[in-house]
Each structure stands twice: as structure tokens, then as C-alpha cells.
Amino acid sequence: MMLWVAIKATLGLAVLSQPEGSWRAVLDLAGGPLPFAVRIDRAGRGWRGELCNGVKCQRFSKVRVVGDSVILENADYAATMTAALRGDSLVGHYHNVGSNGPRTIPFRAARGRWPITRAPTSLVGRWDATYFQDLETSPRVFEFRNTLAGIEGTLITSTSDYGPFSGTASADSFAIGYFDGSFVYLITGQLKGDTLRGIFHAGLKTQTPWVAVRSTGAPHLKSPTEITSADTTEPFRFRFPDLRGRLVGNDDPRFKGKVVLVDVFGTWCPTCHDGMPGLLELYHRYRGRGLEIVGLAFEVTGDTAVDAPLVRRYRDKFRIPFPLLLAGTSDVEGIEAALPQLHGAGAFPTIVFLGRDGRVRRVHAGFHGLAAGDQHQRQVREFEEEIEKLLDEKRER
Amino acid sequence: MIRFLPVALLVSNLAAQIPPDVTMERSGFVSWLKTGSNSPLFAIAQQRVGEGLRLGPTDADIPLSGVDEHRVFPGTAGLVLEGPDGRRPIGRGGPHRIGRYALYLSGRQGTVLTVFGDSAAKEPPGYYDYDASMVFTGPLIRLAAPKQLRILGSDGIEVEATEVGSVIVPLGGRTSLRVLRIPFSGGDESDLEIYFRDETNGNGTYPAGRFVSLYPLPNGQFRLNFNRARNPFCAYSSVYPCPAPWRGNTLRAAITAGERYSGGGLQTVPTEPAE
């Protein structure tokens, strides 16, 4: 009898010890757990999986199961999560390597899905926040709403949003996180009267206190068009190799007389990944009327052998039909040296709008993605209006 | 009044147990030291790029055996690496490969080039046994007016840090330790760091001192775990400049916790405290 129980237990463990299914996952930051979801499925003889923040999911580049270890890889950010599978739990760590060594954050997961919790009406809406850093304060905007997956929020800066945060909320407090394999963010807060107070957690142990009040509608952030300026007196010049090594410049016939959006991006930049579907939509909608787009990739190494495969993967991921050029390295000096007509460039992505005469009409620093809600919609409208206006300009003779 | 108190229960219950997060941190760090292409144990040279550096020949700024002459210099479009195969831009980070060597560029106040070989000069030095009595929890006593100052980080690269306050620990009497916020390059992250000296320096640990991070807790307190103390990179290789000890951060006690020192590294270490 005892032997039978032992065998059953062993078999039971063997059956349970498969990683497929939905997982409620957290990174254990110093200030509390950052929640997200993981889904693992069989794919032929191997495995595949995705990482989700609320309704937004992204594929792991590779999922491996070695013995009782599950290894979830995100090649875009050279990051891995390695965990031991113990029946209904995964316990391990998230790991990626920077210049000062590895960043290691405890990771754990339990089988199942996160319960759906909704944001109280007292929290839903737009809040003007102020971060209290050591030497200064700086503005942010929070937006909270309810989706089919429950509470969703985001954090908006002058140039971008931080993606869709998901998590939990009660009558007067909330904890929502965003983790995409690179960014590790958690916002915790409490409502007291008409004021929200809380902590913004970045990575394992960085914490920034903040205070927020209901947005009145008055501008709280700097406009994305006021951050980077450009020389508008002459056509905007660029000339860089494409992925086949052929030099492509602003004087290429495909751009002549066209309205051109120059997308300054990097494959390492999550906000650029967020922004690309919107750019593709604009491209397909307006191309017949004379819109062109060119992507200028500013990568980490500047080494074609390293960078070109990354840009190819980015191109293939989004099925990008317009040219992507290897423009240089992603540090500020690299951008300024490659594009000397831009001043104060540093936000990724930055979208430079060129009129049919090739001159700069607008520089939009950063990108507010879907998670930014109204800010995203306003940005889409502004892009469309600007493109329509530029398309309507007469061709230069 | 003692401001930083030992976590008494941990002392009695967990004296021989390493918390899982510390185990993971150490294992990830040791693995990187042993195999990472930018592990300080692989470092063979570090210099400021300035107006340019020659690499390769025996009379070069950085001689690299088996490598033809290369140059790294600021070009019109950022830094350039030039060699027999032509020239190409190179950015911060890396690795940029030349033969069996990996080049990394770092630094905010002027670019610094570090060259790494393909094998470690020695084994990682290892750790003292975990000592739960070396874990303290308490408040960070914040400065009314935080001060900015330039220091060398643990990797020997100059960085703009902010002195945010101090913690007081009940070791060697009561010792106040200055706490500086050191930003990561780019992004929102930073570390609250303490660079400290103690009576093990030169006798088990690196003579110049060690770094340890302060961990914020959900209740507004902070945890200082000396078992997480780690060497500056100059302890692994004499390639790296050593941060000068921070004024006042000397404990009159032996901190037999955290990373040890097994020789090598920079032999002449700064003794004058930094401001």
C-alpha cells in the first residue's frame, strides 16, 4: 500500500511537472511583487510562450525545458527567466547583463490566471503626477481605466508612455506593474481625499515617491514637438547603408517629391516596437497619395555584423516594407553626429516629418502607445492632420 | 540611540541559511565573472579614448598580441574603429570584436575603452559564509539638501552621484555610513550605495574597501545586508582604477560577510578619503 502511494505520488508529480498552461507570475522587487502573466504551450516537439501585461502579450523568443528547469528567453533584450518547475509553481530568477554585471531579480509563478480586479471609479481617469527625485521634481501623467482584463493604467512622460500596467486595486489603493523583459516597473499608490500618493518602483530596488492630483486638462507635460528642434532652412540630409549594404540617402528617387516620415529608432527600444504598428498603418493608408517612411536604426554596437541581424529581425517581426537604414550608434553623440540638423535629439523613437521639398516640418520626440489612451488618440489625430496637410502642399517644381 | 538594528530573529534562526535571493544574486554574479564577455576577470586594458588610441602592435597604447594595428578615435559621426578591414562606427556598450578581444565603451564624462580577452586571469574570489547577524534594518537619515558629486563607481568609471543621507549601524560602536545614489546609465534605475572600509581590509577583503547596496523595504525602512558586499572591479584586475574610500565610511569592526579577496587586482589603492 505504501509503495502504491509512493508510485502514485511520483506519477502525479510527473504529470504535473509540465510547464504548459497559464501562470500567475511576479518579480519580487524590494518594494513588493510586480505582477504579470506567462503562458506556455507545446509547439511540435518544443515549446513556445508569451509574457502578458493585462491584454498585451508578447512572444518569448525561445522557451526551453531542461530537466526540471524552464528557461524563457527574450532575445530582444538579452534577457532570460530561469525557473525550477515544482508541480504547480515556478521559482527562479530574471537575469540580464549590463555593463556593470548582471541584474538578477527573483521570479516566481503559480498555475492559473490572475483574478480580474477593477479600478474603483474614484481612481479611473487622468492624474497629474509629480515625482520627487533627490535633487528635483519632474512631471508625469497617470491614466487608469478598466478593460476586459480589469484595471489597466499607464505612466506618461513628455515623450512616451511606459506601456499598459496591470495589477490589483481596492477601494483606496492599487499596485500595477509592467514588465516586458527589459523594463521592470511597478506603481503602488493610495488615495487619500482627492490626492494620490505612492511609489514608482524601477528595477529591483529603485523607488521614487510621487504625488498626483486629478488632471484639470491644463498641460502638465512638455509637448513632444517642443523637445527636439531641427534646421528647417535646408532639406533634411541622411545617407546610410540599408540591410544589403546599399547607401540610401534623402535624395534617393523613392523620396523625391514625397512627404517623408523619418523614424529614428532602435531595435533595443520597447517604445519603438510599440510605435511601429501605427506607423505601418499610416504608411499603408497614405502611401498612394505620396507618403514614404524610412527607418534610421541607431543600434547599440554600430557593428554591422551585430546590428544588421537585429534590424532584420525587427523588419521581419513587423513585416516592414519601407527601407531600414543602419544609421549609427544609439548614444546621444551618435545621433547628433549622424543627423547634425537635429538639435536635442535623444528620445527613441523620434519621428521627423519632411514636406515634399525635403525640409523638416515637425519633429515628434517619443511615442505614446495605445496604453496612453487619450494621449495616444490625440497623437494619432495630430499625425494624420500633419500628413494630410503636408500631402496637400504643392510639389516643388 | 541605535538607528540601525540587527534583525534579531534572523540571527538565531537563519545563521547558516542563505536566503534564496542572495543565492541567486551570487550565482548570477559568479557565472558572469567566469564567463561574461565583459567580466572584469577578462579585462586586460582600460584607457580613456581622448583624441584616439592605437591598439595592436607592441608599441601601441594598448598592445594586443596577434592583432594588426587598429585605432579607436572620435570621428565626425561618433567614435570610429579603424583597422585593416576598414572603418566603422562603434557605440557605447559592446562587444566590438577584434580577433579574440572584445572592446567595450563606457563612461559619461569622456569615453573609456575597456579591452577584454577570452580567458579569465583568475578564479572569482568567493564569499564568506552567510552571516545573518550582518543584516540590519532601519531608516535612511536623509540630507536636507542632497549633494551632487563626481566619484568613481565600482567599475572605476567616473559617475555623477548624489549623496542622499546616511545610515547608522551598531558595529564598532555606532558608525554612520554615507549613502550615495549612483545612477545606471540611462533609464530610471539607480542604486543606493555604501562604499565602506572595515577591519578585514587587506586581511581577507580588498584593501580599498567594498561596496554594498541599500535595499528599500515596503514599510519605508531600508535593509543593509553586508553579505551582499562586493568588491570594486579593481580587486579583480589592476586594469581598473580604484575608487578612493568615502570619508567617514570606516567600520571599527571586522565584517566577515560578503565577497572576499584572493589577491591580484590593483596593489596600490587610494588611501585618501574622497569628499
pLDDT tens for each residue of chain A, 397 residues long: 444 444 444 444 444 468 999 999 999 999 899 999 999 999 998 999 999 998 889 999 999 999 899 999 988 777 899 999 988 999 999 998 877 788 899 999 999 999 999 999 999 999 999 999 999 999 999 999 999 889 999 898 888 888 889 999 998 999 999 998 888 999 999 999 999 999 999 999 999 999 999 998 888 888 888 888 889 899 999 999 999 999 999 999 999 999 999 999 999 887 898 889 999 999 999 999 999 999 999 987 777 888 899 999 999 999 999 999 999 877 766 777 789 899 888 788 999 999 999 999 999 988 888 777 777 888 899 999 999 999 998 764 4
Q: How far apart are CA A273 and CA A277, in angstroms?
A: 8
Give me B25's grid cell.
544574486
Long-range contacts, B139-147 (Cβ 8 Å, 24+): B139/B3, B139/B4, B139/B167, B139/B220, B139/B221, B139/B222, B140/B164, B140/B165, B140/B166, B140/B167, B140/B179, B140/B192, B140/B214, B140/B222, B141/B3, B141/B165, B141/B166, B141/B167, B141/B168, B146/A134, B146/A135, B146/B181
Whole-number Cα distances in Å, A56 to A63, A143, A144, B128, B208: 19, 16, 16, 44, 48
Would residue A10 count as lying in a domain? no
Q: Give residue A369's pLDDT.
A: 82
Residue A32's domain is classified under what CATH number?
2.40.128.120
Q: Give residue A149's pLDDT.
A: 87
Question: What are the residue ranges spanned by the domains of chain B?
Answer: 5-35+124-235, 40-116
Q: Give residue B75's pLDDT.
A: 76
Would residue A171 count as lying in a domain? yes
% of chain B beyond a pLDDT of 70: 88
Handedness of CA A247, A253, A255, A257 (dihedral sign): positive
What tens digit of pLDDT does each residue of A51-72 get?
999 888 999 999 999 989 999 9
Task: With a cut of 70, say whether residue B109 has pLDDT above it.
Answer: no
- For B182, nearest residue in chain A (alpha carbons): A206
Closest CA to A240 of A346, A324, A126, A119: A324
Task: With a cut of 60, say whether residue B146 has pLDDT above it.
Answer: yes
Residues of A in contact with B78 (CB under 8 A): 302, 328-329, 331, 333-334, 337-338
Q: Give residue A14's pLDDT.
A: 44
Three-class SS of residue A11? helix
Handedness of CA B6, B7, B8, B10 (dihedral sign): negative
- For A98, nearest residue in chain B (alpha carbons): B93
Would residue A367 count as lying in a domain? yes
Q: Give residue A21's pLDDT.
A: 94
Residues A281 and A185 in one domain: no
What tens digit of pLDDT does each residue of B49-98 get?
989 999 999 999 999 999 999 999 987 667 889 999 888 878 777 788 89
Residues A189 and A324 in one domain: no
- Predicted TM-score (pTM) of the model is 0.80
CB contact under 8 A, A202 and B189: yes
Q: Give residue A6's pLDDT.
A: 43
Q: How far apart are CA A245 and CA A223, in angstroms?
A: 37
Residue A374's domain is classified under what CATH number?
3.40.30.10
Residues A288 and A357 in one domain: yes
Residues of B in contact with A299 (CB under 8 A): 91
Instruction: Mark out the alpha helices in chain B (DSSP H runs).
Output: 8-13, 20-35
Structural element, H or E, at residue A281: helix A270-286
What tens digit of pLDDT does each residue of B232-269 get?
999 999 899 899 889 899 999 999 999 999 877 666 66
Q: What is the ipTM of this complex?
A: 0.84
Q: How far apart are CA A271 and CA A274, in angstroms?
A: 5
What tens digit of pLDDT does each residue of B150-171 get?
999 998 888 899 999 999 999 9
B108 at interface of A, judged by CB pairs closer than 8 A = no
B133 at interface of A, judged by CB pairs closer than 8 A = no
Residues A58 and A195 in one domain: no
- Among A30, A185, A328, the residue with its CB nearest the CB of B77 is A328
CB contact under 8 A, A329 and B79: yes
Q: Give residue B15's pLDDT.
A: 46
Would residue A9 count as lying in a domain? no
- For A269, nearest residue in chain B (alpha carbons): B187
Q: Give residue B14's pLDDT.
A: 44
Residues A352 and A273 in one domain: yes
Residues of B in contact with A31 (CB under 8 A): 216-218
Residues A365 and A255 in one domain: yes
Residues A179 and A99 in one domain: no
Domain carrying residue A58: 16-111
Task: With a cut of 80, say whether residue B8 has pLDDT above it.
Answer: no
Number of domains in chain A: 3
Long-range contacts, B74-78 (Cβ 8 Å, 24+): B74/B49, B75/A337, B76/A337, B77/A328, B77/A334, B77/A337, B77/A338, B78/A302, B78/A328, B78/A329, B78/A331, B78/A333, B78/A334, B78/A337, B78/A338
CB contact under 8 A, B77 and A334: yes
Residues A232 and A205 in one domain: no
Q: Give residue B256's pLDDT.
A: 96
CB neighbour list of residue A272: distance below 8 Å, 6 or more residues apart = A263, A265, A266, A348, A349, A367
C-alpha dihedral over A266, A267, A273, A277, to 10 degrees?
90
Would residue A117 count as lying in a domain? no
- For B221, nearest residue in chain A (alpha carbons): A31
Name the residue with cell 523619418: A262
Other Cβ atoms closer than 10 A to A136 = 7
Q: Are B14 and B132 in contact (CB under 8 A)?
A: yes
Q: Give residue B11's pLDDT.
A: 30
Closest-CA distance of chain A to residue B97, Å? 9
Residues A135 and A101 in one domain: no
Q: What is chain A's length?
A: 397
Residues A163 and A264 in one domain: no
Q: Give residue A2's pLDDT.
A: 42
